[in-house]
Amino acid sequence: MSSATIKRHNHRVIPCNTQRKIELINFLINNNSQLEIVIVSKESINNFKDISLNEKVRITTDAQFNNDITSEFDMLLNYDLPENPQEYLKRLELAKTYSFVLLDPVDHAELYPIETTLGRVLVQEPLKAFETTQSKDIKIAKAKREKKAKRFEQELAKEKEKKDKKAQSKLPPKRNVRKIVPKTEELD
């Protein structure tokens, strides 16, 4: 596995504002123009229209990663973190020299499982020009977490409703049965 060659000091987390991630990517591309760079996102790559692309920069999603990226590259830029640490390890497999995680408060919760899987803490090194402004990002992250939690609760409720309907359909139909109560004779 090639990720063993990435030294600790070359595997960094760069905290940044969500709104400035594209600007940070362009900064890293311009300062490392001699390197082959792969940018990976867990979802859509439609957000990357403003990236300074050249023949050495490739962009992909986790779903397409194995098909799109078949050879080693110099630098991995993680636009966001996957929910599954194993997906992150797949990203690292072909990275030869550098791996950077562009960490905003939204993805902060995904970092700990990855560090646990790697068996070490990743160094967080903010770049002065891209330091985070916590207040806005925290509000955005909190709103996203609440939205995700609400969606999860709705899914659980739908699942429970389906199970209840399924259980009801397996029960025999209810019949109107009258209880016959024997009359008791009064003793004299």
Q: Which fold does the domain 2-132 belong to in CATH?
A: Rossmann fold (3.40.50)
Q: pLDDT tens across 37-64, in order? A: 999 988 777 777 788 788 889 888 888 8
How far apart are alpha carbons 179 and 113 in whole angstroms? Answer: 60
Q: Quickly state the pLDDT bin for 28 (edges 50, 70, 90).
A: very high
End-to-end, the C-alpha distance of the chain in Å comes to 96
The length of the chain is 188
> Is the model more confident about 150 or about 9?
150
Six-digit token pair at 78? 């993680």
Q: Which one, of 35, 25, 102, 89, lies nearest residue 62 by Cα?
A: 89
> Is the model more confident about 4 or about 152?
152
Q: pLDDT tens across 139-150, in order? A: 677 677 788 888
